[in-house]
């Protein structure tokens, strides 16, 4: 009985979601209580396991046993998954609590909101604890679904409904590749269970099939972790409630792609990641990091800046995976989860206190109005831009070091991205927090309540200390992880240089009194800035070419078949034919009795003739 305790990680949130949805639809307070209780219990369970509680391997559930191919759904309880669970349940619990304050007074149905959060916790736990690609895929689709629900929580807003649809459809593109990758994996390894993969590769290392399989699996990560060219959904997903953005679109779900790739690296072995695949993975990661850092530099919506920054940090992680530095990727995933959740939650607190104002040029002077929140935001910022001593510094260093060892171009790209990261974060902080309040709403802002501040404090502490060896060695989701102490190396100097250059540049542009009083970006008229504001025209390109082009012409073709063949030819055509035949045959029914008799007689005669001729 005790050995099946880990199944609670899945059952509890699912049950909470069901209860919220089915029984407590009219009592949001009770629904919130149920969801928060389930999040806290799973967190406690996770901490208990990490403290050394042993319950033996949980029993696997035989889903469909077939001859020679038994599909079992089981849980994998190793350092990687359990420490990842700590990140998921930890941030999950904090976000649940924060939501209480954030959603207070919101007219939408809060039971639906908390049911969505719980179902997300269930799906994410599914991905993290899965012992086979099948269960991972189930969780994969389920997080997509819950993300859809939560982005579209305010579905009466067109932008939110569209963003939810965009996220779901874009993810489907990646998931399609992922599914093919899973089938290829089954062919190559003969099993989908992570434990049975190592050493069972049936093809030669470096063979094209293996590359294809890896790239298809990577497709899934491209969709879920919003890598170029499927990154377009993540910034739009900011239409959802901010705690959701913190939990799903910053800390956990979007990191699932990285987690899945690292899980594959651990279980398949590094041989499985062929040179070509690694090149593509690292390249896509670096491109995403660079492009989204550029786009973040000219966003005016506080959440969008953070969204693009998430994209760029995910790019770092994917790059690390491509460089075969799984431990660096997981290290950054782990620190990023804390500080990005912190940044989003602090941004959420600011947004709520500014009466749902997200445009940073309408803020200003907030450091005096809500100093604690701003302090938390700043500690998150310091971690993100890798100020020495904060958690992000250690993890970013480890990624940059991996790049330094293996590929100089990627290292240079990484440094450029780091400089841009500092630039846009310093810009954001200067505009939103310094100077004077630009609007009446910002003037009235004040500190949020305890339910919102408490999670911020916890996360702020974690985003400062989580990078140090004594914490990281215990908590980074990787077996046998050892944080290396910082040395005076080339990467350190390059990182510090990027920090100073980016920060200094932002200070020069946005720190001037004129900029601090401006109501819009002083660089806004610049042609380069316009391109960045238009998101490098990638979204517009998709709108034109995919939606306006391919989809339009395809819909024309479909409507040709639908309207021309099915409606006109089959629907109307057959109808007309029947009517015409009926009209013609109706002439025979003229009501003359003699005519009928004649017909009958003639018919009999003809039948007789036929019979005589035939027999």
At closest approach, how far in Å is the CB of 613 from another protein?
Answer: 19
Nearer to another protein, 514 or 612 (CB): 612
Of the candidates 187, 174, 524, 227, the one whose C-alpha atom is nearest the C-alpha of residue 359 is 524
Shortest spacing between CB 593 and another protein, in angstroms: 4
CA dihedral 503, 332, 232, 377 (to 10 degrees): -50
Q: Report angle CA 154, 360, 523 to the nearest 5 degrees.
A: 130
Q: Closest distance between another protein and the C-beta of residue 615, in Å?
A: 18
* Least distance in angstroms from the C-beta of 584 to another protein: 18
- The phi, psi pair for 264, rounded to 5°, reads -65, -40
At closest approach, how far in Å is the CB of 570 from another protein?
Answer: 34
**What residue spans of 354-390 are helical by DSSP H?**
366-369, 371-384
Min separation Cβ 558 and another protein, Å: 48
Cis ω for the linkage preceding 229 (within 30 of 0): yes
Between 302-322 and 408-433, two packed helices, what is the crossing angle to 10 degrees? 160
Q: How far apart are CA 203 and CA 223, in angstroms?
A: 27
- The number of angstroms, rounded, from the C-alpha of 154 to the middle of its chain's C-alpha atoms is 18
The nearer residue to another protein, 517 or 601, going by C-beta atoms, is 601
- What residues from 596 to 615 belong to the interface with another protein (CB under 8 A)? 597-598, 601
| Residue 582 or 591 with smaller CB distance to another protein | 591
Give the nearer residue to another protein in terms of CB position, either 513 or 591. Answer: 591
- What is the closest distance, in whole angstroms, from the C-beta atom of residue 598 to another protein in the complex? 5
CA atoms within 13 A on the CB side of 349: 30
Instruction: Indicate if the alpha-carbon torsion angle 410, 412, 415, 416 is positive or negative.
Output: negative
Q: Which C-beta is closer to another protein: that of 67 or that of 592? A: 592
Nearest residue (CB) to another protein, 557 versus 601: 601
Q: Which x/- pattern, by CB under 8 A, does the window 218-257 give for another protein?
A: ----------------------------------------
> If 0-12 CB within 10 Å is exposed, 13-18 middle and 19+ buried, where does residue 198 land?
middle
Minimum CB distance to another protein, residue 555 (Å): 51
Q: Nearest distance from residue 610's CB to another protein, in Å?
A: 19
Residues pairing with 64 in the sheet:
71
487 versus 590: smaller Cβ distance to another protein: 590
Non-local CB neighbours of 422 within 8 Å, separated by 6+ positions = 385, 498, 499, 501, 502, 503, 506
Q: Which residue has the tokens 């846009």?
A: 424
Q: What are the Cα distances from residue 431, in Å, to 114, 136, 511? A: 33, 42, 8
Residue 575: CB minimum distance to another protein, A: 26
Sign of the alpha-carbon torsion through 283, 287, 293, 294: positive
CB of 578 to another protein, least distance (A): 23
Instruction: For another protein, give the closer residue by CB, 558 or 606.
Output: 606
Question: CA-to-CA distance for 546 and 137, rounded, in angstroms?
Answer: 27
Cβ proximity to another protein, 559 vs 597, nearer residue:
597
Least Cβ distance, residue 559 to another protein (angstroms)? 46
Tokens 């190592």: give the residue: 198
Residue 205, classed as helix, strand or coil, is: coil
Q: In this complex, which beta carbon is closest to another protein, that of residue 1 or of residue 593?
A: 593
Nearer to another protein, 66 or 584 (CB): 584
Closer by beta carbon to another protein, 69 or else 596: 596
* Residues 535-594, interacting with another protein (CB under 8 A): 590-594
Residue 595 CB, nearest approach to another protein (Å): 9
Structure tokens that stand for 50 in this block: 């990490």
CA atoms within 13 A on the CB side of 350: 34
Q: Going residue by residue from 373 to 412, which x/- string records binding to another protein, judged by CB under 8 A?
A: ----------------------------------------
CB nearer to another protein: pick between 571 and 595 = 595
Q: Are 131 and 491 in contact (CB under 8 A)?
A: no
Q: Scan for tokens 């001593």, then name that residue.
A: 389
Q: How many residues of this chain bind another protein (CB under 8 A)?
A: 8
Let me know how long the chain is. Answer: 615
SS3 at position 25:
coil
Give least dist CB 600 to another protein, A: 9
Enumerate the H helices of 190-255 as residue ranges.
208-224, 233-236, 242-246
Nearer to another protein, 1 or 584 (CB): 584
From residue 148, alpha-carbon distances to 135, 168, 170, 519 in Å are 20, 6, 11, 34
Distance, in Å, from the CA atom of 214 to the CA atom of 570, rounded to the nearest integer, reads: 47
Q: How many CB atoms lie within 10 A of CB 529?
A: 15
Tell me how many degrees the CA angle 131-134-137 measures, rounded to the nearest 5.
105
Restricted to residues 142-161, the positions that interact with another protein (CB under 8 A) are none
Query: Given the rule CB under 8 A, which residues bind another protein?
Result: 590-594, 597-598, 601
């Amino acid at each position: 009985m005790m050995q099946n305790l880990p199944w609670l990680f899945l059952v509890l949130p699912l049950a909470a979601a069901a209860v919220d949805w089915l029984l407590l639809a009219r009592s949001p307070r009770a629904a919130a209580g149920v969801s928060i209780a389930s999040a806290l219990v799973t967190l406690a369970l996770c901490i208990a396991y990490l403290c050394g509680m042993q319950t033996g391997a949980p029993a696997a559930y035989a889903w469909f046993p077939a001859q020679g191919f038994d599909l079992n759904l089981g849980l994998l309880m190793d350092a990687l998954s359990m420490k990842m669970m700590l990140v998921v349940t930890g941030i999950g619990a904090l976000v649940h609590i924060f939501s209480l304050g954030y959603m207070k007074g919101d007219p939408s149905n809060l039971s639906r909101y908390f049911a969505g959060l719980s179902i997300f916790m269930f799906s994410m736990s599914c991905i993290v604890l899965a012992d086979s690609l099948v269960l991972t895929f189930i969780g994969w689709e389920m997080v997509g679904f819950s993300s859809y629900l939560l982005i579209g929580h305010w579905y009466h807003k067109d932008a939110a409904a569209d963003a939810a649809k965009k996220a779901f459809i874009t993810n489907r593109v990646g998931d399609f590749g992922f599914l093919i990758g899973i089938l290829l994996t089954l062919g190559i390894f003969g099993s989908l269970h992570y434990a049975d993969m190592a050493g069972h590769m049936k093809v030669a290392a470096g063979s094209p099939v293996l590359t294809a399989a890896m790239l298809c699996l990577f497709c899934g990560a491209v969709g879920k972790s919003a890598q170029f060219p499927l990154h377009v959904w993540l910034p739009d997903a900011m239409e959802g409630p901010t705690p959701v953005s913190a939990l799903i679109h910053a800390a956990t779900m979007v990191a699932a792609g990285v987690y899945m790739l690292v899980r594959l690296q651990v279980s398949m072995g590094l041989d499985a990641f062929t040179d070509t695949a690694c090149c593509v993975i690292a390249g896509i990661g670096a491109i995403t990091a660079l492009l989204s850092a550029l786009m973040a530099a000219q966003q005016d919506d506080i959440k969008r800046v953070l969204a693009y920054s998430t994209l760029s940090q995910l790019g770092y992680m994917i790059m690390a995976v491509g460089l075969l530095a799984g431990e660096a990727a997981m290290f950054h995933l782990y620190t990023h989860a804390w500080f990005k959740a912190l940044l989003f939650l602090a941004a959420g607190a600011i947004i709520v206190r500014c009466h749902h104002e997200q445009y940073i040029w309408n803020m200003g002077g907030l450091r005096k109005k809500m100093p604690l929140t701003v302090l938390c935001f700043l500690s998150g910022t310091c971690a993100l831009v890798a100020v020495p001593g904060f958690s992000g510094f250690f993890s970013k260093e480890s990624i940059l070091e991996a790049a330094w060892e293996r590929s100089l171009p990627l290292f240079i790209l990484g440094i450029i991205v780091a400089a841009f990261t500092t630039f846009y974060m310093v810009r954001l902080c200067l505009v939103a927090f310094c100077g004077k309040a630009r609007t009446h709403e910002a003037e009235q802002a004040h500190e949020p309540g305890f339910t919102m501040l408490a999670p911020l404090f916890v996360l702020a502490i974690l985003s400062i200390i989580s990078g140090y060896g004594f914490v990281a060695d215990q908590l980074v989701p990787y077996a046998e992880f050892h944080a290396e102490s910082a040395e005076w190396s080339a990467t350190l100097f390059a990182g510090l240089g990027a920090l100073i250059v980016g920060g200094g540049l932002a200070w020069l542009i946005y720190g001037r009194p004129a900029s601090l009083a401006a109501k819009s970006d002083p660089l806004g008229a610049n042609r380069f800035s316009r391109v960045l504001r238009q998101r490098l025209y990638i979204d517009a390109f998709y709108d034109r070419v995919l939606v306006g082009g391919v989809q339009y012409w395809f819909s024309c073709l479909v409507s040709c078949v639908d309207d021309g063949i099915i409606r006109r030819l089959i629907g109307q055509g057959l109808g007309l034919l029947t009517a015409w035949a009926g009209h013609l045959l109706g002439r025979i029914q003229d009501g003359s009795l003699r005519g009928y008799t004649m017909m009958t007689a003639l018919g009999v005669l003809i039948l007789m003739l036929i019979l005589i001729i035939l027999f």
